[in-house]
Amino acid sequence: MLKSPEWHLLIVWYFFLGGIAGGAYFTAAIADNFGGPRDRNVVRTGYILSLLMIGVCGMLLILDLGTPSRFMNMMGTFKFKDPMSIGAWMLGVFGLFSFVSSALSLVGGEERAGLRRRWSLVGILFGFFLASYTGVLLSATALPFWRDGRLMGALFLASGASTGMAAISLLLYLSGDSAGEGFKKVKRADRFAIVFEMVVLALFLVLLGSAAAPLTSGHLAPLFWGGLVALGLVIPLVLDLAGGLRVPAVVPAVLVLVGGFVLRYVIVMSHA
Amino acid sequence: MARTLAMFTDTSLCIGCRACQVACKQWNELPMEEPEWTGSYQNHAHFTDKTYRLVRFIEKPQANGELQWLLMSDVCKHCAQAGCLDACPTGAIHRTEYGTVNINQDVCNGCRYCVSSCPFGVVSFNHDTGRANKCTFCNDRIHNGLGPACAKTCPTESIQFGFRDELAAKAEKRVAKLKEMGYAGAQLYGADTNGPLGGLNAFFLLLDRPSTYNLPEKPLLPQRNVFVDSVLAIGAALVVGVGAMVSFRERGGKGDGDA
């Protein structure tokens, strides 16, 4: 009998918030480099959100070890083909990029914008890494379903993008900044990410075939179909496209975030 | 590296006495666990952080309706390509100079990635110490010229300890002999260093298909997926990145009036 690593809610939260951290960072970096001055709120919100999230992520992982100081044991080696080892290091590297980007977006003004943009062009790679490696980490185990999903990393990346963008738009909305151009653009990018996530998820399930049973027909299936597919993907997309419904912009953003959490929850807990 | 050591478990000689299981517990000072009802004489049902050797009692239905015992003393396979070792982010899981796989308890930090990376379900999390445990191949004994406690105690020589190359040759002869005696299903599991996982340093002689013993027919290294999955994730990153770029691109500073 194969054994479960007994990863529970702390890891679910880590996978979820790590996706937001990565997604928010690369969204901000793209807005910084390819957007205009009216996207400055998106840039700043994205960088700072990623910094806050990565801080929480570090704490979640350390808590999960039971004895916090043992986290340092991971810093004694670097294994290039081991997602867990690279991940532990990249958490620190990403934190550094996220910190400097946040600082440059708060102070330094426009004369430091060039440096901030170049810095984020490198950081963007770590953002993509952080959002996707947790999926690859799961698929590099011996456990059925986890090991069978070739698109696990791609799916986590797409979800990191959609949730990171949803989190930025939610924060902009809450801070009363939802009338601007930046908000409109981040919503547009999120719409694209949601559609892409749906495509990846469909391919993921098709490629898995019967191995997808823990998601599609087990005790987690109602949560998967209801919480992720319906509430987290289809409904927010429909609400977003059907502008005439007069639903506050906050609703689809919250739903996407719920969906992103449910995705990590059903996948991790299928081997709880 | 010293010459590779191995354990050869010949299940055709096992009488199910569980002396190996007890010797392992005693030498390694592993505490007792509550017995559990497994539906057969087997106890415990699975490897745990306190059970490194486990005699499996397989009941196989025969054509005449009776059951046949298949006994197998199971243990960590000390794979030549070990999923647990590759998964370990601290380097606690290491290969010894004798080719065995061992967990340095002082370095293990309890991340439990190895637990999910063992194709045989051997590595177990110890909730008392917060670290991972498994058979050590009696690391202390082999470094002092002794064989593992289980092999030492086995009264039928079902478990043999020695140099890997010598044991593998012996195992080949034994299979041929058993086939001659009419055991058509006799086969080696993990003896071939060109086979799955580069061969197992604790290998077995089985009297039936591996799946009958709940062993994977062809165990695979979990890390085989890392490359392909990473490439696919990079592809996804490109799609997402281009999507965001198009969404944020400035069009003459006027916005495009969309949405």
CB contact under 8 A, B109 and A135: no
pLDDT digits (tens, 9 = 90+) for B226-238: 999 999 999 999 9
CB contact under 8 A, B244 and A31: yes
Average pLDDT over residues A194-218: 97
For chain B, the average pLDDT equals: 94
What is the predicted pLDDT for the residue at B255?
42
What is the predicted pLDDT for the residue at B257?
40
Nearest CA of chain A to the CA of B37: how many Å? 16
CB contact under 8 A, A153 and B214: no
pLDDT digits (tens, 9 = 90+) for A123-178: 999 999 999 999 999 999 999 999 999 999 999 999 999 999 999 999 999 998 87
Domain ranges of chain B: 5-222
CATH: 3.10.350.10, 3.30.70.20, 3.90.180.10, 3.40.50.720. Which one for B5-222?
A: 3.30.70.20
Q: How far apart are the first and last CA of chain A?
A: 14
**How far, in Å, are A34, A161, B230, B236, B247 from residue B242 at the CA level?**
11, 12, 18, 10, 8
CB contact under 8 A, A150 and B234: no
CB contact under 8 A, A34 and B116: no
CB contact under 8 A, A5 and B125: yes
- Does pTM top 0.90 for this prediction? yes
* Partner B contacted by A83 (CB < 8 A): yes
List of domains in chain A: 9-269 (1.20.1630.10)
Nearest CA of chain A to the CA of B146: how many Å? 31
* Partner B contacted by A39 (CB < 8 A): yes
Nearest CA of chain B to the CA of A186: how many Å? 7
pLDDT digits (tens, 9 = 90+) for A17-44: 999 999 999 999 999 999 998 899 999 9
Please provide the DSSP assignment of chain A as one string: --------HHHHHHHHHHHHHHHHHHHHHHHHHHS-GGGHHHHHHHHHHHHHHHHHHHHHHHHHTSSGGGGGGGGG---TT-HHHHHHHHHHHHHHHHHHHHHHHHSSGGGGHHHHHHHHHHHHHHHHHHHHHHHHHHHTSSSTTTTT-TTHHHHHHHHHHHHHHHHHHHHHHHTT-TTSHHHHHHHHHHHHHHHHHHHHHHHHHHHHGGGGHHHHTSTTHHIIIIIIIIIIIIHHHHHHH-GGG---THHHHHHHHHHHHHHHHHHHHTT-
CB contact under 8 A, B225 and A181: no
Average pLDDT over residues B166-192: 97
- Which site among A25, A69, A86, A139 would you substitute to test the B interface, given the most B Cβ atoms closer than 10 Å to its Cβ? A139
A4 vs B contacts (CB less than 8 Å): 115-116
Nearest CA of chain A to the CA of B190: how many Å? 18
Average pLDDT over residues B248-255: 65
pLDDT digits (tens, 9 = 90+) for B129-142: 999 999 999 999 99
Confidence label for A247 from pLDDT (cuts 50, 70 and 90): confident
For chain A, the average pLDDT equals: 95
- Whether residue B205 contacts residue B189, with contact meaning beta carbons closer than 8 Å, is answered with yes
CB contact under 8 A, B86 and A1: no
CB contact under 8 A, B259 and A187: yes
CB contact under 8 A, A7 and B112: yes
- Which site among B44, B95, B116, B246 would you substitute to test the A interface, given the most A Cβ atoms closer than 10 Å to its Cβ? B116
For chain A, positions 216-255, list CB contacts with chain B under 8 A: 243
CB contact under 8 A, B112 and A153: no
pLDDT at B63 over 50: yes
Confidence label for B254 from pLDDT (cuts 50, 70 and 90): very low
What is the predicted pLDDT for the residue at B91?
96
pLDDT digits (tens, 9 = 90+) for B97-108: 999 999 999 999
What is the predicted pLDDT for the residue at B252?
52
Confidence label for B54 from pLDDT (cuts 50, 70 and 90): very high
For chain A, positions 40-79, list CB contacts with chain B under 8 A: 42, 64-67, 70-71, 73-74, 76-77, 79
What is the predicted pLDDT for the residue at B1?
63
